[in-house]
Structures are given as structure tokens and as C-alpha cells.
Amino acid sequence: MVQFYSPNRRSVNRGIISVTADNLDAQGQGIARHQGKTVFIPGLLPDEQAQIQLTEEKRQFAKAKVVKRLSDSPHRVAPHCPHFKVCGGCQQQHVAAELQVKTKASVLEHLIQRETGISISAHPIIRSPEYGYRRRVRLGLQYHAKQRTLLMGFRQSQSNDLVNIKHCPVMRPELEQLLHPLYQCLNSLHAVKRLGHVELVLADSGPLVVLRHLAPLKQEDKEILCVFSVQYNVAIYLLGDEKSLEPLMEGQTAPWYQVNGLKLVFSPQDFIQVNDVVNQKMVAQALEWLDLQPTDRVLDLFCGMGNFTLPIATQVQATVGVEGVAELVASGQYNARLNKLNNVDFFHENLESDIHQQPWAAQGFNKVLLDPARAGAAGVMAHIVKLAPEKVVYVSCNPTTLARDSKVLLEAGYHLVSVRMLDMFPHTGHLESMALFSSEPMEIE
């Protein structure tokens, strides 16, 4: 038999080794050193000793699993969720909240220092309730043929299989208490085998459910859903395909939430921030950093449905929001009228294409806010510099692209004044942040 040599193939030492973790990464993995190599170990906390087994080995690092933990850190706590370690939704419920946020802030500070050479603190941290913070969740639905029952829940860690969720303490209590009756309702439908997913959303106007069904629902199923809707005071929307959202019953009130004293109506499919507590603090921090004045003209890029745009508009001469999703732009325009804000314009434009020909780009602004997706804002950074605003607030869901885009502003002479870590998703590896840049030197916070 012919054997082929693969220079990239690395044998993994399957023996048991003993290590002591000396740090934690943003994903909640313990970091240890073995024979000069960094080893990442899920479930191990700093200062804990364990017997581990390598599961993957690269030139610069390795991954391992705990075989036996030999000591416990004072930062180890009992997870609240019975599905922890099986469900892939949370990774850090075994880590005390203070260590979680301290680690994420440290990771953010390290990335900025490494990419920009600037040493800056990400404190004070914008904190979240430890549990009961998620006002929006999407649960997968799978019919288990052998057991003749429905599975409703999140994906297992590193798997496409669902964990049948009965409790979820990171959900808002008003949503968590719907899990069991909603499961019973969906499991009783004739179309139970043809369901895709279900979303639960807690608006300030009340809870709502969006049900994705892969085949038309019979009248009997709609009647079952109507009974659930009335009994639990939940608005239900049916999603036959990605563009056919329909209310189950006529007369359902459109959902809305409040931010900075404004009422924002949204479609159940619109993006809204999952963590309302942090969203309120984040918007307030952005307004404070921008130091808004009645004569300001403010540009809000990647503006969504106006979560920042509309609160800004209450304090300035004019505000422009630019967003690539048409439905969100329509929601923003509607909410501007609803709140009687006549100094706001929304533009539906692709900010990843050539922005110089876009109509908003010909206008002048003295302050800018941007809240891009994980890919960052590389396509607009040069134009922001061209605008020469006094202040720029960058809200980020990816510290790597924040650090990358920061360099464009810094090279143009801007000063990094302040950074905040946002505890938007406790018990997960998601790291949200925001940064303030100024064209004039300011005291670093």
C-alpha cells in the first residue's frame, strides 16, 4: 500500500499530563503552559490544577480536555442552568461574574494595545444583570421520529443536535416561563413534523412568538395557537417563508420598546439589542461621549432602525442614519414620524460598496457614531476621516475589527480618549465594546 507524507499532520500525545491554569481567555477557556506551548482547556479556571489530555496540537498551541480536576478556584461557582455543559448557548456559567468581565476587559485592552500601541483601560465596565437578561431567543425545532416527540432548544456544543430546553435562566423570566406551555402547544400541532424554529421576544408592549413553519398550517393548528395566544397573552406571528410574516390574529398591536424616553415600534423580524439593560446604558454613554449640542449635525452609520439615531436627534440640529437593510430603514423612518422628529433622514445604502456616490456622503457632519457588524467598518473609515468630525463613537461587537479600524483614525491624528467593555452577553464569549475618539487631545478616561 502506498503511503503519502503529509507535512501538516501532527500526532497528538494522548497521554495524561498535569498542568495549572494561569489565565482565562474571553471564551472562558483556561490557559496553561506545557513544554513551552500554550494549552487551551475548556472548564479550567486560573490557579486550578488538573490532569488533562490533549485533543488537538498545533505548532504554537494545543487544545485539551480535563480528565480530572485536582483543585478548585475560589472563582468557580455552581451554574444556574441544568443544561450547562450540554447546551452550546452559554460557556461560562461556572465562572464568577467578576472574573468573566475582568477577563473580557483585559482581552479588549490587550488587543487595542497590541494593534495600536496605546495602553488604555476598558473600565468602568457597562454591566448587565448576571441572569434574566435576554429579551430575544431563537430555539430550534426538530421532530424526533423514534420518540414521536418534538425537540425544542439550542444546539449542543459543537453539534447540530438540539438540547431539549426546559429552563433557561439567562432568558427574561417572562419568556422562560413560556417554555413549557409553548412546547406543549407546538408538540400538539398536526404540523409538528414541519416546524423550523421559534423565536420568543419580550417587547415593552408584551411577549411575542414568531413560528417558522415549513408547510401551510391547517385551521385546526391555527385554532390551537389562538388558544395559547389568548391564554398566555402572547402575540403570535407565522413565518411561512423568510418574507411572509403574518400575525396569527387580526388586531395584534405592533411590538415596541423604549429607549431614552422614545417609543420605537419594530417588526418581529427587525434586529433589536438582546440585552435591554445594557442597551439603555450604552445609548446613554454614547450621548454623553458625543457631547451633543443644538447646532450639531450627526452621522449614524450602520444605524439599524435608529436605536442611536433617534435619541441623538432629540438634542441636535440634524441627524442622518445610513443602513443596508431596507426594512430597518423603513422602521427608522416610521419611528421618526411617531416621535415627531423632523430633523432625521434615513438612507438605505450598502456601506460595503463605493460610498462616495451615495447621497448622504455629500453632506457635512461634525460628529459621527458607527455600530458595524463583526466585519467592522473598513469601507467607511477613510470617509469618516475626510469628514473631519470633532468626535467619533465606535460601537463594536468584535474587538479585533475595532482595533483594526481604530488605526485609521489614529493615523489621521485622532486621539483614543476612552474605551468601555459592554457586558452584553454574560456567560458567553461574546465581547462587545465602545470607544471614543476625538480630533483634539482630551484627558484619557
Asked if residue 226 belongs to a known ligand binding site, the reply is no
Asked if residue 347 belongs to a known ligand binding site, the reply is no
Asked if residue 323 belongs to a known ligand binding site, the reply is yes
Whether 243 has a pLDDT exceeding 80, the answer reads no
| Active-site residue identified among 185, 226, 303, 397 | 397
Asked if residue 350 belongs to a known ligand binding site, the reply is yes
Given this model, what pLDDT does residue 4 score? 41
Q: From the CB of residue 57, how many other CB atoms can be counted at a distance below 10 Å?
A: 15
For the chain, domains (ranges, CATH) are 16-69 (2.40.50.140), 105-129+275-438 (3.40.50.150), 136-256 (2.40.50.1070)
CA dist., res. 352 & res. 301, Å (int): 11
Whether 14 has a pLDDT exceeding 70, the answer reads no
Residue 218's beta-bridge partner residues?
A: none
Give residue-wise pLDDT tens across range 41-50: 999 999 999 9
Closest of 364, 346, 368 to residue 289, by C-alpha: 368
- Burial class of residue 356 (count of CB atoms within 10 Å of its CB; 0-12, 13-18, 19+): exposed
Closest of 435, 374, 369, 372 to residue 406, by C-alpha: 435
Q: Between the CA of residue 305 and those of 133, 257, 327, what are the distances in Å?
A: 21, 12, 8
Give the rounded percent of residues in the chain with a pLDDT score beyond 90: 85
Asked if residue 302 belongs to a known ligand binding site, the reply is yes
Query: Which phi and psi angles does 68 have, rounded to 5°?
Result: -155, 125
Given this model, what pLDDT does residue 10 score? 52
Whether 428 has a pLDDT exceeding 50, the answer reads yes
Whether 229 has a pLDDT exceeding 90, the answer reads yes
CA dist., res. 255 & res. 280, Å (int): 18
Average pLDDT in the 103-111 region?
95
Average pLDDT in the 361-389 region?
96
pLDDT tier, 152 (very low <50, low <70, confident <90, very high otherwise): very high
Given this model, what pLDDT does residue 401 score? 96
Given this model, what pLDDT does residue 12 score? 54
Asked if residue 371 belongs to a known ligand binding site, the reply is yes
Closest of 279, 289, 301, 308 to residue 417, by C-alpha: 289
Whether 5 has a pLDDT exceeding 50, the answer reads no
Given this model, what pLDDT does residue 3 score? 44
Whether 303 is a known active-site residue: answer no
Given this model, what pLDDT does residue 179 score? 97
Which pairs count as long-range contacts for 286-291, CB under 8 Å and 24+ apart, including other chains? 286/312, 286/369, 286/393, 286/395, 286/434, 287/260, 287/311, 287/312, 287/315, 289/391, 289/393, 289/418, 289/436, 290/367, 290/369, 290/391, 290/393, 291/391
Q: Does a cis peptide bond (omega within 30 degrees of 0) precede residue 169?
A: no
Hey, what's the cell of 299? 452621522
